[in-house]
Amino acid sequence: MNVNKIALVGNPNTGKTSLFNALTGLNQQVGNFPGVTVDKKVGKLKLQNRSIEIIDLPGTYSIYPRSKDEEVVYDILSNPQHVDFPDVVCVIVDSSNLERNLLLFTQVYALAIPIVLVLNMSDIAFRKGKKIAIEKIREQFPEANIIETNARIKLGVKKLIDILEKRINPRNDVPKALISKSDVIAQQQDTENKFQEINELVKSCVVQDSSLKTRHKVTRLDRLFVHPIWGYSIFLVVLLALFQLIFTLASFPMDLIDTLFGSLSAYLHGILPAGMFTELLANGIIPGIGGVIIFVPQIVLLFFFIGILEETGYMSRVVFIMDRIMRPFGLNGKSVVPLLSSAACAIPGVMASRTISNWKERLITILVAPLMSCSARIPVYTLLISLVIPNRMVFGFLNLQGLTFFALYALGIISALLVAVVLRMFIKTKEESVLLLELPDLKSPRWKNVGITVFDKARLFLVGAGKIIVAISIVLWALGTFGPTERIQNAVQKIEKPINKNEVQLAAYEKQVNAVKFENSYIGILGKTIEPVIKPLGYDWKIGISLITSFAAREVFVGSMATIYSVDADGEETRSLLEKMKQEKNSDGQPVYRLASGLSLMVFYVYAMQCMATFAVVKRETKSWKWPIIQLLYMGVMAYVSSWIIFQIFS
C-alpha cells in the first residue's frame, strides 16, 4: 500500500519526539516529563523518490481524552475525513512497561487503521531484565507490524523506515467505532475489559530474566532527590549554584562584547562621513544590536545547565517535589510543568497548561504563569543588578549579585503561588486534576540534546527578539534625534553662549545644547509627559520610555536604554552602557540608578506583564480578550504598588 501520512501516538514520555526527530531529521525539543508536546508537530520523512508526512501527536494514556492536548489524538483518529487522518499509525510504547502502554495500542488497533507497534526503549527493558516474546503479541494482533527500537540511538529506525515504505500490513478487519467523548461510563467499562486482556497478554509475552536485571545504583540517589526535606534542600542548592555560575562565568564574555560594541560605534563614527545615517548606525543600530548580543552568554549558560538537569532526569524529580509544594496553594500537580516551563518562557508554559483537564484550574495556571521569571528578564535583571548591587561575597562563598538574581527568581515563584491562592477565592474549582508522572531513570546527559536546546534558545533570543529590538532602536533613535523645530530652537536660544570661546567652555556649551535638544525631541516630550506617573517609583523619563517599548518584550528594555543613552552620549561612544547609566544624575544631583530605584525597577520587571507575545497567546488559549486584559491589569497594579513600596522603604 502507498503510505503518505503517518501519525506517531503513544503514552507520554515513550520517546515519540525522539523517534519523530530520528525519522524526519528535525530537532524538535524532547523532554522526559509530560507536557513537552501539547500540539501536533509535522515533519517529512524523505525517501528515495518521495516523502511521507509524519505527525507527532501529544502523549496520551488512552484514546479517550481527559484534557485539551489529548483531544487532538481522539479528534484525528476518530474521523477518517479529518485533514490529518493518517494512512498508518505508529503506536510507540515503552518496552519496560507494557502493562500500561498497551492500552492505547489495543484501542487504536480496534480502529482498523494500518498500524505499527513500536517497542521503543528496548535498552531500558533489557536493563530491567525484561525479554519480550514478540511472536506472542503478533498472535493476538495479527494485522499489526511489530518492531523493536531504541530511538535515542536510532537503533531499529532503518528497519522501521523499511516497513513504512514497503511492508505495511493492509487491514482487512472491520473497524470498531470509538465510544463518544462524553460517555465516560462506557469508556471506563471498555478500558477495564482491555486491561484484563492486556494483563493476560503481558503475562505470556514478557519474560523476567533475573540474570539480565542489573542493580539500580541510582535508587539511593533518587530517594534523596524526592525526599521531603533533602529533596528541597538539594533543589535549593542546585538553583543557588546555577545562578552563581551564570553570573560568574558570563561576566568575562559580557564585558568583552560590551567593549567591542562601544569601540565599534566609535570606529564607525571615525571612518564614515559625518551625516544622519552614520548617526543612526553608530548611535541607533549598533548599540541596539549590542544590547541584544551582550546577554547571549547568560542565555547560553542558563539553558546549558537547564539542559543538563533535564537530560539527566533530575527535572522530573523537581516536578515531583514541586507538586507537593503547590497543592497547599491550590495549584494541582499538572500546573507544575507549565509553571516550570514558564521559567524559560511563558509562551510554552501557557501552552503546556493544555494538559490540565479542569478549565478553571487551567485558567489559574495561565494567569500566574507569567509571574515566573522567564529568560527575557535575564538581561534586565543583569543590567540592574550590575548597576546597584555591589560585586562582593557574602558568607565567604556567595556572590551578592548572584544571590540577588536568585532572590528575584524566588520572588516570582512565591508570588505565583500566593496569587494562585487569591485567584482560587474568585475562580472556584470543584474537582482537582492529578499529576501522573513517571520518573525516568537517572542517566548521563546526551550532549547533542543539550546542544540543540542551547542553540535553539540562543537563536530564538537573537533572531526572535533581536529583530524587534533593532527595529525599536531605529524608531527610538529617530524619535530622539528629531523634534518640533520651533520648540528646540526656543530651548537652545535660552542657553547662554560662552563669552570667552575657549575649548572647555565651548565643549560645555555643546553638551548643554545636545541635552536640551534631546529633552525637546519627540522622545523627550513623550518621556516628560509620562514622568509624573513613574516618578513616585524612582524612575526618570528615560526609564519611562524603555518601560513603554519593553511592552513588546522585556529584553527590549536594555536595547532601548542602549539607544537612548547613545543618542544622548555627546560623542562619548566608547563608554559602556553601564558606565553611562552609573553616571546619570537626577536634577537634584542624586544618581538615577541607586539601590532604591534599582530594586524598585527589578521588582517592577518581576511583576509587570511586559510581553506582547504572551498577551496574544493567553488571548488565544482562553479564547477571549477578558482574561489577558485582567492579567495585564492585575500584574500591572502589582508591579506599580510593589515598586512604589520598595522605593519608599529603600529611599
Partner 1 sequence: MQEVLVIFFIVFAIVYLGKKVFYWLKPKEDTCEACAFGKATKE
Q: How far is the CB of 362 from partner 1 (least distance, A)?
A: 15
For partner 1, the closer of residues 460 and 530 by Cβ is 460
3-state secondary structure of 293: helix
Question: Among 598, 572, 199, which Cα is nearest to 380's?
Answer: 598
Which of 134, 268, 293, 471: binder of partner 1 (CB under 8 A)? 471
Q: Using the rule CB under 8 A, which residue among 213, 585, 620, 626 binds partner 1?
A: 620
Which one among 306, 470, 602, 638 touches partner 1, defined by CB under 8 A?
Answer: 470
d(CA 192, CA 205): 20
401 contacts 386 by C-beta, under 8 angstroms: yes
Piece of 144-152, 205-213, 466-474, 483-491 that binds partner 1 (CB under 8 A)? 466-474
- The residue (of 125 and 558) whose beta carbon lies closer to partner 1 is 558
Cβ pair 19, 92 in contact under 8 A: yes
Does position 629 bind partner 1 by CB under 8 A?
no
Question: What is the C-alpha separation between 405 and 373, in angstroms, rounded?
Answer: 10
* Amino acid present at 196: Q
Residues 6 or more apart whose CB falls under 8 angstroms from that of 360 comprise 427, 428, 429
Decide whether 468 or 608 has the Cβ nearer to partner 1.
468
> Could you tell me which residues come within 8 angstroms of residue 585 by beta carbon, excluding any fewer than 6 positions away?
591, 592
Q: Residue 606 in contact with residue 415, Cβ under 8 Å?
A: yes
- Which residue from 230, 277, 447, 455 is in contact with partner 1, where contact means CB under 8 A? 277
Binding mask 282-301 for partner 1 (x = CB under 8 A): ---x----------------
Which three cell numbers mark 526?
A: 513623550
Closer CB to partner 1, 322 or 351, in the complex: 351
Q: In terms of CB distance, is 235 or 295 closer to partner 1?
A: 295
Minimum CB separation from partner 1 for residue 389, in Å? 27
- Residue 222: count other Cβ atoms within 10 Å of its Cβ: 17
Which one, 44 or 528, has the nearer CB to partner 1? 44
- Is 284 within 8 Å of 566 (Cβ atoms)? yes
608 scored as a contact of partner 1 (CB under 8 A): no
Confirm or reject binding of residue 619 to partner 1 (CB under 8 A). Answer: yes
Least Å distance, CB 296 to partner 1, is 15
By CB under 8 A, what part of segment 411-450 binds partner 1?
none
Q: Which residues make Cβ contacts (< 8 Å) with residue 347, sequence separation at least 6?
A: 613, 614, 617
- Per CB under 8 A, does 5 bind partner 1? no
Binding-site size for partner 1 (CB under 8 A) equals 42
User: Judged by CB under 8 A, does residue 275 bind partner 1?
Assistant: yes
User: Which position among 78, 278, 512, 514 is part of the footprint of partner 1 (CB under 8 A)?
Assistant: 278
Q: Give the angle 502-517-284 at the CA atoms, nearest 5°.
A: 105
User: Is 380 a binder of partner 1 (CB under 8 A)?
Assistant: no
In DSSP notation, 360-422 reads: HHHHHHHHHGGGSPPTTHHHHHHHHHHHHS---EETTTEEHHHHHHHHHHHHHHHHHHHHHHH
3-state secondary structure of 539: coil
Name the segment binding partner 1 (CB under 8 A); options: 226-234, 291-299, 457-465, 587-595.
457-465
Stretch that binds partner 1, among 96-104, 188-196, 462-470, 536-544 (CB under 8 A): 462-470
What the block records as the C-alpha cell of 152 is 535515542
Among 617, 635, 638, 639, the residue binding partner 1 under the rule CB under 8 A is 617
Residue burial 6-44, b: 16+ Cβ < 10 Å; e: rest: bbbbbbbbbbbbbbbbbbbeeebbbbbbbbbbbebbebe
When asked if residue 276 is in the footprint of partner 1 (CB under 8 A), the reply is yes
Q: Does 534 bind partner 1 (CB under 8 A)?
A: no
Q: Which of 52, 110, 289, 351 binds partner 1 (CB under 8 A)?
A: 351
Measured distance CA(600)–CA(587) in Å, rounded:
19
Q: Please say whether the beta carbons of 561 and 581 come within 8 A.
A: yes
Return the SS3 of 134.
helix
CB of 564 vs partner 1, minimal distance in Å: 16
In whole angstroms, the minimum distance from the beta carbon of 197 to partner 1 comes to 35
Residue 465 binds partner 1 (CB under 8 A): yes
- Note whether 79 binds partner 1 by CB under 8 A: no
Specify the length of the chain in residues. Answer: 651
Q: By CB under 8 A, tell whether 40 contacts partner 1.
A: yes
Burial of 2 (0-12, 13-18, 19+ CB in 10 A): exposed
User: Is the Cβ of residue 22 or residue 202 nearer to partner 1 in the bound state?
Assistant: 22
Q: Smallest distance, Å, CB 469 to partner 1?
A: 11
Does position 15 bind partner 1 by CB under 8 A?
no
Instruction: Give the three cell numbers for residue 444.
Output: 548521563
| Cβ 55 vs Cβ 85: under 8 Å | no
Minimum distance from residue 482 beta carbon to partner 1 (Å): 10
Q: Which of 238, 239, 249, 280 binds partner 1 (CB under 8 A)?
A: 280
Q: Nearest distance from residue 382's CB to partner 1, in Å? A: 18
Site membership for partner 1, residue 28 (CB under 8 A): yes
Report the 10 Å Cβ neighbour count for 502.
Answer: 8
The residue from 282, 364, 552, 567 that contacts partner 1 (CB under 8 A) is 552
Q: Please tell me whether residue 130 binds partner 1 under the rule CB under 8 A.
A: no
**Of residues 121 and 352, the one with the C-beta less far from partner 1:** 352
The angle at the Cα of 444, spanning 122 to 212, to the nearest 5 degrees, equals: 40
Work out which of 5, 29, 87, 630 binds partner 1, going by CB under 8 A: 29
Q: Strand pairing partners for 286? A: none
The three-class DSSP label of residue 216 is coil
Strand partners, 171: none
Give the up-direction half-sphere exposure of residue 565: CA atoms within 13 A in the CB hemisphere: 28
What is the nearest approach in angstroms of partner 1 to the Cβ of residue 610? 12
Read off the amino acid at residue 49: N
Is 348 one of the binding residues for partner 1 (CB under 8 A)? yes
Amino acid identity for residue 110 in this structure = A
Residue with Cβ nearer partner 1 (212 or 293):
293
Measured from the CB of residue 351, what is the shortest distance to partner 1 in angstroms?
A: 6
Which segment (270-278, 416-424, 520-528, 560-568) binds partner 1 by CB under 8 A? Answer: 270-278
CA distance 559 to 550: 9
Q: What residues make contact with partner 1 under the rule CB under 8 A? A: 26, 28-29, 38-43, 273, 275-278, 280, 285, 345, 347-348, 351, 376, 460-461, 464-465, 467-468, 470-472, 474-475, 478, 552-553, 612-613, 615-617, 619-620
